[in-house]
Chain A
Amino acid sequence: MLLRYITRRLVILVPVVLGVTILVFFSIHLVPGDPARSFLGDRATPAAVAALHREWGLNEPIPVQYWLFMSRLLHGNLGQSLFYQSSVAGLIGGRLPVTLLLLLYAAVLSVLISVPLAMAAARRPDGIADHIVRAIGLVGIGMPSFWVGTILIIIFALRLHIFAVAGYGNGLVGHLQSLVLPGLTIAISIAPMLVRSLRASMIEALNSDYVAFAKAKGATAPTVVMRYGLRNASISAVTILGINIGFLVGGTLVIENVFALPGLGSLMVQAILDRDFPVVQGITLVFAVIVVVVYLLTDVAYALLDPRVRLG
């Protein structure tokens, strides 16, 4: 049954990803601006521009270019970057770990922040702790992520000198250190949503018959909250993070710029500015696949963990 569900979902995945490639391909090609001129800069002569157009195949009609792109794609070739003169796949491969690590950090930190807050709030709804937590959440929702990142840099790097500001650091330890502030920034941006729903589902769980029964049998309040609240929380946390993966991934675009991280997000922004078509297409494809796969995994995980959900 599960296998059928997964297969069905995978089948739906194909037209979705295809739709994504079409949308991206045509939109970036409709964008005014010319990668040849960007590449040649202020020493662009008409002859060189024309020659580059020919060389990069930019004179072909758009459907032909799309066809070339798709046929290369089906052979696993994402094409050549117009600017770096190296393979798009290679560029992406080099930067993907940074972005993935950042996302992982953000996910872990957001859970570490949100779960305790939600538990404190859910224990006594409408109590002091609950109000404080909800207030923090309400304030947090309105914080632009780049602003949060800037404030963190001012406090922890400029004033307190705890972290080596932006950049990716050297060596594994350096990398992990350098991702704390950016990861924290993304975590803070998603924490309000997370806390809200964790709190709600914890409250629901705590009021369930199951818990009432456990309490009647003598389990103390803290144990109850810990065991049953936590289990519910982890299911919710996983699903909410999974569902909002698009938001998280998109956040890397801005955050990688603020913190100068060599990930896919900053490469994407630069490639858009340069009109480096193959790179933009490649990264968007990777992003879309990540998002869609995570959706699928989330659905499956949710279905596995919560027997109430039908897989039909």
Chain B
Amino acid sequence: MKGITRIATVIAAGSLLLLAACGGSAAPTSQTSSSGGPQHGGDLVFARTTDILSLDPTQMTDNESIWTAESVYETLYAATPNGRQLRPWLATGYTLSPNHLVWTFSLRHGVEFANGQPMTSADVKFSIDRVSAKASNPFAFIDTAIKSITTPNKYTVVITTKYPWAPLLADVALFANGILPDNFGGESQSQFFTHPYGTGPFSVSQWVKGQKLVLVKNDHYWQKGKPYLDKVTFTDVPSDNTRELELQSGEADVDEFPAYSSISQLQSTSGVKVGIFTSSRTDFLQFNESVKPFQEVAVRRAISYALNRKAMIQAVLFGHGTPANSIISPALWAYDPNSPGIQYNLAQAKAEMAKSSVPHGFTTTLLVGSGDTTETSLAQIVQQELKPLGINVTLRPVDPNSEYTDIQNGQYSMAFNYDTTDIIDPDELISFSAMGGNTGQKTHALFTNYNNVNVDTWAQDAERTFSQSARQALYNKVQIQVANDAIMAYLYYSPFVYAYSTKVHGLDIYPTGNYHLENVWLSS
């Protein structure tokens, strides 16, 4: 009969679909990696999650643009591979005046731009002046301590600061202060940025928006013999699954940020390696102290005690992370391993709640960025884990842009956020995330409205102190204070994860994310 025919058809169709999807997985091609010294040549295909937004180092805020720019423009000083110190790069050294206000840098001789022109102090002054030229420039804040830059001769640059400023070397090493040719090498600004170049190992040959960006080797690179690669092609592939498949099929050599759930599968795929690199990222749950009852330290501590970080790391990072105990990540030199960041202890959580004005719990909301599955999962875990304290959490999903705005406008009770650092110095991070009131970057401790005058004073002192051990002591005090005050519930430190073909060698990602592609080579 007709009806039965229809149902049978539907069942048959459904079964066919299921059967097809159940087919065995194809075996990946196996490759043997060759040993021996670096080989020259080749085009590295680097599949990344988003397209870049800009090639102007004074305008970029997104990671992909920044890490690309670092292959094109270089800075006077640069981070060491472990991200803990700075070393001379385009400069060979500096002297600091006794009053700590005048920094005199000697430039490296023989450095040329990709067009063969020598780099001189005029290029340095031009580039660094641009960074804070407009108040709307995203990293103008990093150069606010600079009063003036002078160029007494072609290989000397003198930076004078308005006040003693210890982080200056780290600031100068920021990608935004990368060196461009003076006056764009004679071109107009817009012309220059259609095919920008610097002293770096590569220059931009082609940018097809939304698809790919191609870098070509700089034949005038000052580190002789490098780069090894002829070309680097960054492709824009937002889907995790697609990047993974491209890596496995050989269409891509590097997969940026594979899904955590795929890491163990990738690790056991022949021909593929997974690089797990330390990052400076700390993830946390932050509280708005202008909203009751989050102004009570007992409540904040209680919530922090109730969160099982190990379970979160297992569920969301599939084990690739460590519980966080400080606002600063272990990748930075200022990290205090003894920082008393609260860890999971349900009994202590209840004890703290008992001390508060809301011992039986309360109702509150948690801001969640929609479309971000990690945050959504974490939010649901937090919701469950706070139930034993009587805290009823309603999730408030908003799109990512509104999430920024709501946090920055103080329109939240609890929200997920994270910190990283762009410079090899804790000052940037602390000035955004721990300094309250009218101090620091005036962001009210990352919009938590936390305000501790001691913390502000220690942080400001650390900016003007030039003894490393004295600075460390001050930053330790800051970390201990904010950890005890539980301004945020630190969750975990997570790594940078890159999956790449075994043909790729020399890929070592720094804690600030730099690729240093001049060290990468492909074996055939």
Contact = CB atoms under 8 A, between A and B. Distances in A.
B171 to A, nearest CB: 13
Contact of B61 (A43, A159, A266): A43
Contact of A136 (B9, B402, B408, B417): B9
Given A34-B401, A132-B9, A95 B210 contact: yes
Interface stretch (A115-123, A165-173, A215-223): A165-173
B239 A84 contact: no
Interface string B25-51: 110000000000000000000000000
Nearest to B136: A51
Contacts of B54: 84-85
Contact of B5 (A41, A52, A84, A135): A135
Contacts of A38: 400-401, 404-405
Nearest to A31: B402
Contact of A165 (B135, B245, B401): B245
Contact of A135 (B9, B62, B139, B238): B9
Interface stretch (A70-78, A148-156, A245-253, A282-290): A148-156
Contacts of A46: 442-443
B25 A43 contact: no
Contacts of A104: none
Given A260-B239, A273-B399, A139 B10 contact: yes
Interface string A61-102: 000000000000000000000011110000100110000000
B137 interface: yes
Interface residues of B, number: 60
A167 B137 contact: no
Contacts of A167: 235, 237, 242, 246
Contact of B402 (A33, A84, A86, A266): A33
B191 to A, nearest CB: 13
Given A131-B6, A151-B17, A274-B401, A40 B138 contact: yes
A123 to B, nearest CB: 17
Contact of A131 (B5, B21, B406): B5
B238 A42 contact: no
Interface string B78-100: 00000000000000000000000
Contacts of A154: 21
A1 interface: no
Given A34-B405, A273-B399, A41 B26 contact: no
Nearest to A275: B401
Interface in B340-388: 371
Nearest to B210: A262
B134 A51 contact: yes
Interface in A191-226: none
A7 interface: no
A5 B208 CA distance: 42
A35 interface: yes
B9 A94 contact: no
B59 interface: yes
A253 to B, nearest CB: 13
Interface string B495-523: 00000000000000000000000000000
Given A131-B6, A138-B6, A153 B241 contact: yes
B138 A48 contact: yes
Nearest to A155: B20
Interface in A6-42: 31-35, 37-42
Interface string B389-411: 00000000001111011101000
A309 interface: no
A86 B207 CA distance: 12
Contacts of B245: 157-158, 165
A230 interface: no
A94 B210 contact: yes
A33 B9 CA distance: 49
Nearest to A35: B401
Interface string B1-12: 010011001100
B253 interface: no
Nearest to A134: B6
A109 B246 CA distance: 26
Contacts of B141: 43, 45, 47-48
A168 B211 CA distance: 8
B251 interface: yes
B440 to A, nearest CB: 10
Given A47-B135, A51-B135, A153-B241, A37 B408 contact: yes
A128 interface: yes
B451 interface: no
Contacts of B23: 155, 159-160
A28 to B, nearest CB: 11
B404 A41 contact: yes
B422 interface: yes
B418 interface: yes
B211 A262 contact: yes
Interface string B149-172: 000000000000000000000000
Interface in A49-66: 49-52, 54-55
Contacts of B70: none
Contacts of B25: 158-159
B476 interface: no
Contacts of A139: 9-10, 13
Given A34-B405, A131-B5, A166-B242, A159 B26 contact: yes
B146 interface: no
Nearest to A276: B401
A164 interface: yes
Given A39-B61, A41-B61, A46-B442, A161 B138 contact: no
Contacts of B104: none
B231 to A, nearest CB: 14
B123 interface: no
Nearest to B55: A85
Contacts of A31: 402
A112 interface: no
A32 to B, nearest CB: 5
A305 interface: no
Closest 7 CB pairs of A and B: A51-B136, A262-B210, A51-B135, A33-B401, A135-B9, A166-B242, A33-B402
Interface of B: 2, 5-6, 9-10, 13, 17, 20-21, 23-26, 53-54, 56, 59, 61-62, 134-141, 208-211, 235-239, 241-242, 245-246, 249, 251, 371, 399-402, 404-406, 408, 417-420, 422, 432, 441-443
20 contacts: A32-B402, A32-B405, A37-B401, A38-B404, A43-B432, A45-B443, A47-B140, A48-B136, A84-B53, A95-B209, A154-B21, A155-B20, A165-B241, A165-B245, A165-B246, A257-B238, A260-B239, A260-B242, A267-B210, A273-B401
Given A51-B135, A138-B10, A274-B401, 14 more contacts: A32-B402, A35-B401, A37-B408, A38-B405, A40-B138, A41-B138, A47-B442, A85-B53, A155-B17, A159-B24, A166-B237, A167-B235, A262-B236, A266-B210
